[in-house]
């Protein structure tokens, strides 16, 4: 199997022709030149893995000084590139000096085919190893902290079971996913679940909150920059897309991107390549995209505030996370989960939730969704005396005045129907539980359902 990109520099065109002919069956790509002045150009545009460099050019055919001069230029441009000297005048002193300067080995003129191929194979393996180590270092530096929050996705409602089934169906795909849902529904947890159940689970997961990045920093964060690209660019920094290459990139709050930034993101996705700020070298990328937003992105497309072509690129599959108010008894499942977690964290002994507390949690609309429930339970555990949690332990926000006024304008039959439908959703279709939430008997609820045609 062919592998690696080779650049050969020699002042003798016959040598270039012979090496090209010999190596072509074994390597992926070969470029040759008689002009060492073009080395940096080739390194930026071609990005070779191994460079075969003539040690002696015409104006100085024996000392090797020109070879050492260009070796220094090469190592400055890319410290990880592997350089093999080509020379007919190798000696021990030059060999030691060359290794100290950064060369890996010599290829003598004339060469032996098998020895040359073995040397080149070892050089390509060394390049691969150096690249992997450098990538890992950059990933660690760019990520800074582990991404996993330690929280689980919990739910037994029909909507959540459907979501779990879809995640399972996507297990062996690399499709781009768009996650839609209100704030606090757990879009980041779903993104990590998709990652853990994907073919790229063993690779890096990089998340970026696009809603928190100022527009002027978007390119440097996503695409990276070279040293000197701007005033504070004191060293090279890979962007999130480059770091995520081979793995998964999670673009949270993608609906916040301005149209110019959407265009730049689309170009990177379509071409599968980026260029760091201040650089000319093209960097190929291979990422699986998972995006998320709490906005109505389809309405944004109709209004012209989100590009339709970008939407097509990011939503091969769309996942909708239901709001907590529509998940019925999941509210209590989550409450118990958070209660156990925070009781352990704060070393509290809790007897659980009282019946009235459960009713209060089920009747609340949870505008902040799971995140609001999590904070409400944590606060209740902290302030409790260690006994069973009661309604007064939960300081829930009242509904906004505007929503109350809107409800008061509806007629009674509409209000009754909406209340029954809401109760059935929260009870997951359980008639007895729904009747309990409404404060009526099962038989009364049956009569109302029949009357309303539900």
Q: What is the pLDDT of residues 153-196, one digit of tens each?
A: 899 999 899 999 999 999 888 999 999 999 999 999 999 999 98
Beta pairing, strands 50-54 & 5-9 = parallel
Computed over every residue of the chain, the mean pLDDT equals 84
Q: Is the confidence at residue 311, as pLDDT, over 90?
A: yes
Q: What's the whole-model pTM score?
A: 0.64
Which of 71-80, 98-107, 259-268, 439-448 comes out lowest in average pLDDT? Answer: 98-107
Per-position b or e across 65-75, b if 16+ CB within 10 A of its CB = ebbbebbeebe
Residue 182 makes CB contacts below 8 A (sequence gap 6+) with: 294, 321, 323, 369
* Best-predicted range by mean pLDDT (199-203, 251-255, 386-390): 251-255
CA 81 to chain centroid, in Å, comes to 28
User: Looking at residue 405, what is its pLDDT?
Assistant: 37
* Phi, psi torsion values for 437, nearest 5 degrees: -65, -35
Reported as a pLDDT band with limits 50, 70 and 90, residue 282 is confident
CA–CA dist 255, 264 (Å, integer): 14
386 vs 408, more confident: 386
């Amino acid at each position: 199997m062919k592998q690696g990109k080779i650049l050969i520099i020699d002042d003798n065109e016959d040598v270039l022709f012979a090496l090209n002919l010999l190596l072509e069956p074994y390597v992926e790509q070969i470029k040759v030149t008689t002009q060492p002045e073009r080395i940096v150009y080739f390194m930026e545009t071609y990005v070779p893995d191994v460079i075969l460099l003539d040690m002696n050019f015409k104006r100085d055919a024996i000392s090797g000084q020109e070879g050492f001069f260009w070796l220094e230029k090469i190592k400055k441009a890319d410290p990880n590139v592997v350089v093999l000297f080509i020379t007919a005048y190798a000696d021990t002193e030059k060999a030691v000096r060359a290794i100290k300067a950064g060369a890996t080995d010599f290829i003598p003129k004339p060469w032996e085919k098998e020895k040359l191929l073995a040397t080149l194979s070892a050089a390509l393996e060394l390049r691969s190893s150096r690249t992997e180590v450098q990538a890992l270092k950059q990933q660690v530096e760019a990520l800074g902290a582990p991404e996993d929050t330690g929280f689980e996705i919990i739910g037994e409602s029909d909507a959540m079971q459907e979501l779990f089934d879809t995640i399972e169906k996507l297990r062996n795909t690399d499709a781009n996913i768009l996650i839609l849902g209100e704030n606090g529904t757990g879009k980041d947890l779903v993104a990590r679940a998709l990652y853990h159940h994907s073919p790229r689970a063993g690779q890096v997961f990089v998340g970026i909150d696009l809603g928190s990045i100022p527009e002027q920093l978007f390119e440097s964060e996503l695409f990276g920059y070279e040293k000197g690209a701007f005033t504070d660019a004191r060293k090279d920094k890979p962007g999130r897309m480059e770091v995520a290459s081979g793995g998964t990139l999670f673009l949270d709050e993608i609906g916040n991107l301005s149209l110019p930034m959407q265009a730049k993101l689309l170009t990177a996705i379509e071409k599968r390549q980026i260029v760091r700020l201040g650089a000319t070298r093209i960097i190929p990328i291979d990422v699986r995209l998972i995006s998320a937003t709490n906005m109505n992105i389809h309405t944004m497309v109709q209004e012209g505030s989100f590009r339709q072509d970008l939407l097509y690129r990011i939503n091969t599959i769309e996942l909708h996370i239901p709001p907590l108010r529509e998940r019925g008894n999941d509210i209590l499942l989550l409450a118990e989960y958070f209660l156990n977690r925070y009781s352990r964290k704060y070393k509290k002994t809790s007897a659980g939730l009282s019946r009235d507390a459960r009713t209060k949690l089920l009747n609340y609309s949870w505008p902040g969704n799971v995140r609001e429930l999590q904070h409400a339970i944590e606060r209740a555990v902290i302030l409790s005396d260690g006994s069973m949690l009661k309604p007064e332990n939960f300081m829930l926000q009242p509904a906004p005045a505007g929503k109350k006024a809107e409800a008061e304008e509806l007629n009674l039959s509409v209000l009754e129907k909406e209340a029954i439908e809401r109760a059935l959703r929260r009870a997951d279709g359980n008639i007895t539980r729904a009747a309990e939430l409404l404060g009526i008997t099962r038989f009364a609820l049956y009569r109302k359902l029949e009357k309303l045609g539900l």
